[in-house]
């Protein structure tokens, strides 16, 4: 029991460290994308942290298996490097027992990943979709940020206001620049006003920015024939938001609803959600023999090949999932054949790892002897 707690703690701490680092990196990249959309006026700034929060379960369901895999490699690699694993083997702690002990944290992580993939991730994706649906109804006025020039997605309009007051209902010192759609001689219209308020047309429901005490300049850039109009009131129609959806509809559906369908894409999504917990078990069995390193090789000798093996495993799973969703693969159990293949490979490394290591050493030695200058 003492050895179990010690190994469990080593694996858990290493896994949490790797998971935290990878999670911060992925969240930072996604947050930067959302922040650029907010700066461009596509979404409001107050929904940024909600979007990231609802996305976290989807991140963790993929990061936790990787964290578990690397955690086992790093924790057991250190034990081999410092000869602690040699002492454990001398005391009767066999590799089979080490594999069984490793299944403890693996099952715990698998249960946690199952909670994420089967319930929390669809719930979070559904909330993200609702937020984007709400952002679709917003206008340029709602996403306007004071003190910043904001360009629309079409690139034809630039809006600026110095200040927003009365719960974003009044603007001070407004600047609007808009180009016409004519590609030959685009007419540039510039409007400058002291203040503005939002106005909704009761007949059409369209939103306008009602500007007061300003000027409108209109003409072709580079030409002197332009018009200057002074106005007391001027109405500028506000552009509706065109934020793009960032979640697929199938990702938002509850698992129970997907299980009751005969559609291939729904079945593929169910198989994917169920396969993620299995991924945790398989990679834990795979990581134990891969963590066995020679103290002279160093702790990170097999780290890079192991990571490439894991990425290949995950890539094959995603490719099979994509093929099932597109109808290119008709047998829904294909994804489980991938798990079975890697499980057999992991068991082969566990039971015959010494044989393959000796064979690799002999092949490597023969290769170097065949080179010019090699010893015979």
Residue 376 belongs to a domain = no
Q: Report the share of the chain in percent with pLDDT over 70.
A: 85
Residue 13 belongs to a domain = yes
Q: Which pLDDT belongs to residue 231? A: 87
Q: Are residues 344 and 279 in the same domain?
A: yes
Q: Does residue 41 have a pLDDT over 80? A: no
Q: Mean pLDDT throughout 97-122?
A: 94
Q: Are residues 229 and 252 in the same domain?
A: no
Q: Which pLDDT belongs to residue 298? A: 64
Q: Are residues 155 and 131 in the same domain?
A: no
Q: Report the chain's mean pLDDT, rounded to a whole number.
A: 83
- Count up the domains in the chain and report the number: 2
Q: Are residues 292 and 324 in the same domain?
A: yes
Range of the domain at 130: 2-136+246-370
Q: Does residue 96 have a pLDDT over 90? A: no
Residue 143 belongs to a domain = no
Confidence of residue 376 (pLDDT cuts 50, 70, 90): very low
Tell me which of 217, 237, 257 is where a domain ends.
237
SS (H, E, C) the chain: CHHHHHHHHHHHHHHHHHHHHHHHHHHHHHHHHHHHHHHCCCCCHHHHHHHHHHHHHHHHHHHHHHHHHHHHHHHHHHHHHCCHHHHHHHCCCCHHHHHHHHHHHHHHHHHHHHHHHHHHHHHHHHHHHHHHHHHHCCECCCCCCCCCCEECCCCCEEEEEEEEECCCCEEEEEEEEEECCCCCCCCEEEEEEEEEEEEECCCCCCEEEEEEEEEEEEECCCCCCCEEEEEEEEEEECCECCCCCCCCHHHHCCHHHHHCCCCHHHHHHHHHHHHHHHHHHHHHHHHHHHCCCCCCCCCCCCHHHHHHHHHHHHHHHHHHHHHHHHCCCCCCCHHHHHHHHHHHHHHHHHHHHHHHHHHHHHHHHHHHHHCCCCCC
pTM of the model: 0.75
Q: Does residue 16 have a pLDDT over 90? A: yes
Q: Are residues 293 and 335 in the same domain?
A: yes
Q: Are residues 222 and 251 in the same domain?
A: no
Q: Which pLDDT belongs to residue 363? A: 64
Q: Does residue 317 have a pLDDT over 70? A: yes
Residue 144 belongs to a domain = no
Q: Which pLDDT belongs to residue 142? A: 65
What angle (nearest 5°) sits at the alpha carbon of residue 315, between those of residues 314 and 320?
A: 100
């Amino acid at each position: 029991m003492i050895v179990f707690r010690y190994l469990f703690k080593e694996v858990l701490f290493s896994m949490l460290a790797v998971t935290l680092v990878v999670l911060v990196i992925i969240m930072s990249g996604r947050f930067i994308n959302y922040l650029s959309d907010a700066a461009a006026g596509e979404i409001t700034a107050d929904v940024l942290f909600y979007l990231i929060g609802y996305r976290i379960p989807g991140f963790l369901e993929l990061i936790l298996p990787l964290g578990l895999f690397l955690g086992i490699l790093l924790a057991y690699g250190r034990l081999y490097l410092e000869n602690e694993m040699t002492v454990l083997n001398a005391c009767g702690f066999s590799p089979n027992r080490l594999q069984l002990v490793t299944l403890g944290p693996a099952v715990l992580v698998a249960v946690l990943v199952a909670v994420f993939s089967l319930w929390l991730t669809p719930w979070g994706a559904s909330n993200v979709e609702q937020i984007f649906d709400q952002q679709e109804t917003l206008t340029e006025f709602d996403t306007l940020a004071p003190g910043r020039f904001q360009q629309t997605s079409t690139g034809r309009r630039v809006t600026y206001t110095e200040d927003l007051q009365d719960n974003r209902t009044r603007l001070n010192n407004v600047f609007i620049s808009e180009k016409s759609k004519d590609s030959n001689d685009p007419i540039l219209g510039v409007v400058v006003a002291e203040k503005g308020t939002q106005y909704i047309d009761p007949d059409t429901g369209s939103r306008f920015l009602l500007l007061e005490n300003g000027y409108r300049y209109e003409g072709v850039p580079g030409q002197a024939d332009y018009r200057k109009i002074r106005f007391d009131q001027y109405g500028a129609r506000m552009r509706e938001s065109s934020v793009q959806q960032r979640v697929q509809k199938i990702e938002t559906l509850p698992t129970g609803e997907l299980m009751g369908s005969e559609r291939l894409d729904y079945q593929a999504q169910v198989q994917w959600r169920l396969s993620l917990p299995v991924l945790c078990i398989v990679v834990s069995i795979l990581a134990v023999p891969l963590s066995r390193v020679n103290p002279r090789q160093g702790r990170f000798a097999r780290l890079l090949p192991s990571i490439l093996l894991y990425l290949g495993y995950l890539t094959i799973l995603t490719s099979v999932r994509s093929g099932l969703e597109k109808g290119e693969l008709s047998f829904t159990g294909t994804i489980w054949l991938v798990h079975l293949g890697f499980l057999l490979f992991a068991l082969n490394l566990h039971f015959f790892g010494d044989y393959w290591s000796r064979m690799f050493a002999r092949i490597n030695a023969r290769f170097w002897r065949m080179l010019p200058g090699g010893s015979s």
